[in-house]
Each structure stands twice: as C-alpha cells, then as structure tokens.
Amino acid sequence: MKSSWQAAKNAINTGDIPQYDRRRKTSLDRLADRYRRFAMLAFVVGMTSGIALNNLAGPWLCVSYMLIMIGLGFTDMAFSRAIRAIDVVTMSVDEVYRCTMTLRRRHLMCVATAMPVVLGWMVWLGFTIDDPYMTWGMVVGAVTGLILGVIQLMRFMADYREVLDE
C-alpha cells in the first residue's frame, strides 16, 4: 500500500499547478469596487453641484441636495464595506449566499426609498424655479437619469447574480 501511495504522489506533477493571480478580481471585488466608485461619485457630485445649485435655487434646496447625495454616498460606502467583509474562505457557502442576498435586498430597499425622496426634491425644485427652459431641462435630465439609473441597477443585479453563481 505504501508503494501505491508513493506512485500516486509521484504521478502528481506539482510544477504545472497554476498560481493565483492577485490582480484578478473576483465578483465580490468587482461589486465592492462598483459601490466604492458610486460612493465617490455621490460625494463629488453632491459637493460640486450643491454649491452651484445655491446660486440658482437658494440655500434650503442646496443643503437638502447635498444631504441627499452625501447620504447616498455613505450608503454606497457601507455596501462596499459589507461586500468586502464577505470572506469566501472562512464562511460557508450558505453564509455567503445569505449575506449576498441580504445586501441585494437592502440595495433594492435603498433604491425604493431614495426614488421618492429624489422625486420629491425635484418637484420642490420645479416649483421653486419659474423658468420654463429650466423645467424642461429638469424633465430631460430626470428621464436621462432614470434610464442611466436603470442600466446601472441592472449591472448591479448582474454582479449579484454572478456572485451567487460562483
């Protein structure tokens, strides 16, 4: 029996075992990076556009816009950290699945909560500004933002599906 174990050991060619490429991103890494990018974008846009909005609509709309964007940025940052906390090495498959599904559900709840808040803010802005060109610009921007937002949401959900498939 010892000789058969030795023969099996010798038959394994350890020289051809591929090494793990540290630059290669997993689905969890890509998802966490996407959340981090969205958080940084929310912080930058919230500060720069909020300051520019102050000249147009007044301080209350400016402050509310900045609070909304910074709040969304912190939410995305929290999602990024929660995704990074998922450790596929130490966690069981069931734990990874439950954590991922919980984060996916929370993401959809945040979207469902943020949409009425942003819509209400836009209505408030629309009643504040009397210029018809600005109103049409808001409508075009809202439709464009909705289309781009749905595309990005579908990409997030595709990333979650990819995580769950692995």
**Residue-level pLDDT at 24:** 66
**Residue-level pLDDT at 8:** 59
**Residue-level pLDDT at 82:** 93
Task: Give 97-161 as a DSSP string.
Answer: HHHHHHHHHHHHHHHHHHHHHHHHHHHHHHHH---HHHHHHHHHHHHHHHHHHHHHHHHHHHHHH
**Residue-level pLDDT at 76:** 93
Q: Quote helix, strand, coil % in the chain, to nearest 5.
A: 85, 0, 15
**Residue-level pLDDT at 105:** 93
Nearest to 143 by CA among 158, 122, 128: 122
Q: 101 with 74: CB under 8 angstroms?
A: no
| Residues in the chain with pLDDT values less than 70 | 1-24
**Residue-level pLDDT at 135:** 85
**Residue-level pLDDT at 60:** 86
The answer to pTM > 0.85 is: no
The 10 Å CB-count burial string (b at 16+, else e) for 119-144 is eeebeebeeebeeeeeeeebeeeeee
**Residue-level pLDDT at 63:** 87
